Structure 1
Amino acid sequence: MPRSVYEEMKNYGTTTPQRYDAASVLMLDFVDFTEMAISNDPGSLISELNDIFSAVDQIVELFGCKRIKTMGGAYLAVSGLPEPTPDHTYNIAKVALRL
């Protein structure tokens, strides 16, 4: 969560919606994740996902992007939020290529 959103939530109990005219989004999703979750030990699956998502976090941060959320085998990252950046498309594309 961006620091500014955290501070607003802490101080006022709510956040004000904001509009961003330009941002780029990257969504990663493991193919057949549900089947992997059923057929593998939960502890080892969580450990492996943690390792993978930690590596993805490093790449995302390297190019000035932000992780928004992980859920199951999905990973959502953005560029241009919460601070607008003119090269958001380039940054998120560099993340995708590095992955």
Structure 2
Amino acid sequence: MHKKHPDFFPPRDEIFNLQIPTGDIFSAKVCQENSKALMTNPNKALSDWLLRKVLQLQEGQLATMEKLDKLGFDSVIILKDENGDFKIDIMKTNAYIEFNNMLS
């Protein structure tokens, strides 16, 4: 998706707000080569939400497709509002495939 919508996120290393479904707002930025990573401050805030709260994984436990299938989701969606603020949420299993097919 990044190649199809290169201006969706702010430029690399520019900080923006990222709200999770609990209402908490993280300071975030895209980073790494080709802006392929999403990072929050503190760095583990996003992973703690996704891995500990959503997936309910223990430290060192792997996220597997079997676990995702049991929970009923396999992707996340990031939305941007008119103010340039972002929200992230989980999406039901196969939602990304369906979304990607709509764009084709």
TM-score bracket for this pair, using the shorter chain length: under 0.3
Query: Which structure has the highest helix share of the two?
Result: 1
TM-score if structure 2 supplies the norm length? 0.27
Task: Answer 1 or 2: higher relative contact order, Cα 8 Å, separation at least 6.
Answer: 1
Richer in strand (by share): 2
Specify the structure having the higher radius of gyration (Cα): 1
TM-score of the superposition, structure 1-length normalised? 0.28
